[in-house]
C-alpha cells in the first residue's frame, strides 16, 4: 500500500487534469461564444489537459490543491456587446466551471459508493473522487482571488472604473511575486482551506437532500 500522502498525490493527478482541462476550456468556450477567435486559433478550445498544463502551477496544485494552468489568451476587442462585461464573464467562467464540476463529481461519488459499497475498489475510487472534488473546489476558489495573474483580478479590473487602470497596471507588475509570497507563507492556505471545506460540506448536505428520497 502507498503511504497516504503519496496515494493522495497520485489521486491528485487525474483530479488535476480534470480540474485544469475544464477550467481552461470554460475560459476558451465563453470567449469563443463572445466572438473572440483567439482561443480556437491557439488550440485552447479543447478538454485535452496537456494543452493547458503549466509546470509550476501543476506542481503547486499537486502538492497544495491551489495552482494554475497556462492562461487562455483572449482579445476583448472581439467581444460582442459590452467589452468589460465580456471580460468579467470570461474571467468567471473557469471558477464557475470548477465549482459545477466539483458538485457533479461529488454526486457521482455518492452514487458510485452506493453501488460499490463493499467492493475492494471502493477505497481507491473514493480517494480519486474526493481528490477530484477538492481539487476543483480549490481551483475554483483560488482563482477567484483578486491577485494577478488569477481570474479574480480580471473580474476586479472589469468592475472598477477605468480611472483605476494605472493602479491596476502597477499591481499587475508585482502580482506574481505577491502570489508566491502568500503561497509559501501559507497565508492563502489558512484562508482558502476553510472556504473549500465549507463549500464541500454544503455540497454534501445538498446531495444528501437530493438522494435521501430515493434511499428510503
Top-confidence range, 30-44, 115-129, 170-184: 30-44
Residue 8 confidence (pLDDT): 77
Q: What is the mean pLDDT of residues 91-119?
A: 92
pLDDT at 61 exceeding the cut of 80:
no
Give residue for cell 476543483.
Answer: 136
Counting other chains too, the contacts that 204-211 makes at CB distance below 8 Å and 24 or more residues apart are 204/106, 206/103, 207/103, 207/106, 207/107, 207/110, 210/107, 211/110, 211/111
Give residue for cell 472534488.
Answer: 133
pLDDT at 143 exceeding the cut of 60:
yes
pLDDT band at 216 (very low <50, low <70, confident <90, very high): low
Range of the domain at 195: 4-215
Q: What is the mean pLDDT of residues 45-55?
A: 93
**Residue with the larger pLDDT of the pair 151 and 65:** 151
pLDDT at 209 exceeding the cut of 90:
yes
Phi-psi group of 153: left, alpha or beta (phi > 0 → left; psi -120 to 50 → alpha; rest → beta): alpha
Residue 66 confidence (pLDDT): 65
- Decide: 64 and 134 in contact? Cβ < 8 Å: no
Which of these, 132, 185, 169, 165, lies nearest to 13 by C-alpha position? Answer: 132
DSSP code of residue 70: P
Q: Which residues contact 65 (CB under 8 A, 6 or more apart)?
A: 12, 134, 135, 138, 139, 196
Which of these, 84, 89, 77, 80, lies nearest to 28 by C-alpha position? Answer: 89
* Total domains, the chain: 1
User: Distance between CA atoms of 140 and 196, rounded to whole angstroms?
Assistant: 9
- Decide: 68 and 54 in contact? Cβ < 8 Å: yes
Q: Which residues contact 93 (CB under 8 A, 6 or more apart)?
A: 26, 27, 29, 30
Q: Which triple of cell numbers denotes residue 96?
A: 464557475
Secondary structure (3-state) at 51: helix
Q: Which residues contact 47 (CB under 8 A, 6 or more apart)?
A: 21, 22, 25
pTM: 0.89
User: Distance between CA atoms of 27 and 11, rounded to whole angstroms?
Assistant: 25
Residues assigned a catalytic role: 24
Amino acid at each position: 500500500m502507498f503511504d497516504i500522502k503519496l496515494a493522495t498525490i497520485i489521486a491528485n493527478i487525474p483530479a488535476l487534469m480534470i480540474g485544469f482541462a475544464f477550467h481552461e476550456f470554460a475560459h476558451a468556450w465563453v470567449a469563443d461564444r463572445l466572438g473572440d477567435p483567439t482561443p480556437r486559433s491557439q488550440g485552447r478550445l479543447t478538454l485535452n489537459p496537456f494543452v493547458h498544463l503549466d509546470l509550476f502551477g501543476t506542481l503547486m496544485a499537486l502538492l497544495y490543491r491551489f495552482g494554475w494552468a497556462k492562461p487562455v489568451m483572449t482579445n476583448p476587442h472581439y467581444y460582442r456587446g459590452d467589452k468589460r462585461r465580456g471580460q468579467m464573464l470570461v474571467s468567471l467562467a473557469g471558477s464557475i466551471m470548477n465549482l459545477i464540476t466539483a458538485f457533479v463529481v461529488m454526486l457521482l461519488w455518492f452514487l458510485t459508493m452506493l453501488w460499490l459499497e463493499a467492493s475492494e475498489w471502493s477505497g481507491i475510487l473514493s480517494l480519486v473522487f474526493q481528490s477530484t472534488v477538492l481539487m476543483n473546489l480549490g481551483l475554483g476558489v483560488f482563482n477567484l482571488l483578486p491577485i494577478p495573474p488569477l481570474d479574480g483580478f480580471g473580474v476586479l479590473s472589469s468592475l472598477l472604473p477605468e480611472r483605476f487602470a494605472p493602479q491596476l497596471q502597477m499591481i499587475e507588475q508585482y502580482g506574481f511575486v505577491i502570489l508566491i509570497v502568500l503561497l509559501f507563507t501559507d497565508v492563502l492556505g489558512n484562508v482558502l482551506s476553510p472556504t473549500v471545506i465549507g463549500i464541500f460540506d454544503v455540497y454534501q448536505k445538498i446531495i444528501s437532500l437530493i438522494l435521501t428520497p430515493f434511499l428510503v
